A and B are shown apart, each in its own frame.
Chain A
Amino acid sequence: MGEIRFDDVGRIYGDRNGGFEALKGVNLAIADKEFMAVVGPSGCGKTTCLRFVAGFDRPTSGTVSVDGVRVASPGPDRAVVFQQFALMPWKTVRENIELGLRNKRLPRPERAERIERILALMNLTAYADAFPHQLSGGMQQRVSIARAYVLDPEVLLMDEPFGALDAQTRVVMQEELVRLARRNPRTVMFITHAVEEAVYLADRVAIMARQPGRVKEIVDIRTIREAERWDDHEKIEDVMDLESFVHLRTQIWRSLREEKAMEIA
């Protein structure tokens, strides 16, 4: 289980009278094992929403809950993949992945076995004893994803995980994530500002608006993806050429552009 719910969530910075209202009336339900991408202009509060689910931050009104339980603090049932990787620079790849398992007090043989499995899955076996700074950005993000996945979390929270990667690496990582997500589905909340990425990866895309931040529209991708059999294509560019993909992308673009236009006006 891993159902995420935002019920009338608001966040005000500063005092309640003259404060800045970052989020207002956010309502969103992410079903168990659903991959939800959240797109929106910068400053719309999408990262803040993710931080609520992670337990790093709290709304000033409304509730954020996972499986009906209000989120109170961070925990390994809600693993986070950060844009800037946030790997411990003094730990090797293996030690970084191991920290969460050690906290779960798993016996050493089981830890070792799970680490080997995830290293193999993420093509990291050869780098198990390297330090993060010896790896490229793409590799570091792979470690960060492995660190989250190895915990077998109900919920995966990804905050622009590919935002710091170059275009080629990004494509490879997107393809890998799709494979991982289809093989081993989790409830995923995936923040991005890249529309293609959202359409390619997600079951549904939530579009946020700003001032104050709120969910403006939710676009269903999965029905079309399955009907048009996107997953039969191995390469991202083949999917991106499909008419159905282009159509959805354009629809989301338009919705976002309205936001931009309002901003300028």
Chain B
Amino acid sequence: MRILCATNSLLLGLIGFSAFLGIWALLSISGLVPSLFLPSPLAVVERFIYLLDHRFAGGTLLDHLWASMLRFAGGFGLAVAVGVPLGLLMGWFRLLDDIVTPLFDAVRFIAPIAWVPFAALWFGTGIGGPIMIIFAGAFPPCLINAYRGAKFADPRLIEAARMLGTPDRRVITEVLLPSAVPSIIAGLRISAGLGWQSLVGAELIVASTGIGYMMVQGQGNVSTTTVMAGMIGIGIIGLIIDVVLRQAENAILRRRGLSA
């Protein structure tokens, strides 16, 4: 039954993709839309393969993706390293919660891209600036989910830990963190998505390498196929990140006996 469901949903997913590609191909073959406005799928795939081993805007497609991923890893890692512990602490210490939450609620509504001018000013356009922008995108879900996970930890488990003699601050690592793990992982998935989006957005504006930069150069050269090849690269990497995190999520939920 389970396997049947899995293949079924895979099949349905493929139908979605095929329909999308079909409509796209029809539109471009019919000639209703000039190929410059909408290149055909085939041309995009050709360009994609070409860019894999030909340099464009300073590097191959893989070079650009690699540069982007390094920045992403930096910004995302920083967001996790700061957001998760801070969220847990806010879920435990009421005072910290009261101090940070109003500020955080105001700041998180600023779109990551809005930080571009300051990011460039403070940290430059190399690796620092983009990392800050990714951080701005990836940080809120890390913090919010860790916070909620800690806040809604089963009070009976906290009582159990305390009657077993767990010191107050170790309750955070013994109970709050493990309780919050499913929520944190769900947060990481959102966070990775937003971080990856912010990265490409940032690279469109400030950066001299990376997939976003490559796309801007493509735009400058009126090479719509390059832009689209970049979009495909972004999509593939995003999908890989999400699949990895989802696997981790399922593994953890299964270990806890929660249906995955």
Interface residues, chain A, with chain B CB atoms under 8 Å away: 54-56, 73-76, 78-80, 82, 84, 86-90, 99-100, 103-104, 131-134, 147, 151
Contact = CB atoms under 8 A, between A and B. Distances in A.
A86 B157 contact: yes
Interface in B212-260: 255-257
Residue of B154, B163, B174 contacting most chain A CB atoms (<10 Å): B163
Interface in B175-194: 175, 178, 181
Interface stretch (B107-115, B129-137, B164-172): B164-172
B161 interface: yes
A134 B163 contact: no
B257 A131 contact: yes
Determine chain A's interface SS by DSSP, over half rule.
loop
Interface string B139-165: 000000000000000101101111111
Contact of B178 (A73, A74, A88): A88
B165 A104 contact: yes
A160 to B, nearest CB: 13
A78 B257 contact: no
Nearest to B179: A90
B257 A133 contact: yes
A83 B163 CA distance: 15
Nearest to B157: A86
Contacts of B165: 75-76, 100, 103-104, 151
A80 B166 contact: no
A52 to B, nearest CB: 13
Contacts of B159: 54, 56, 74, 80, 82, 86
Contact of A134 (B166, B178, B257): B257
A42 B221 CA distance: 78
A54 B156 CA distance: 13
Contacts of B167: 103
Nearest to B252: A90
4 interchain residue pairs of minimum CB distance: A133-B257, A100-B164, A76-B165, A103-B165
A102 to B, nearest CB: 9
Interface string B47-61: 000000000000000
A59 to B, nearest CB: 17
Contact of A103 (B156, B157, B164): B164
B156 A84 contact: yes
Contact of B163 (A74, A90, A131): A74
A90 B160 contact: no
A44 B154 CA distance: 25
Given A86-B157, A103-B165, 4 more contacts: A55-B163, A82-B159, A103-B170, A131-B255
A82 B178 contact: no
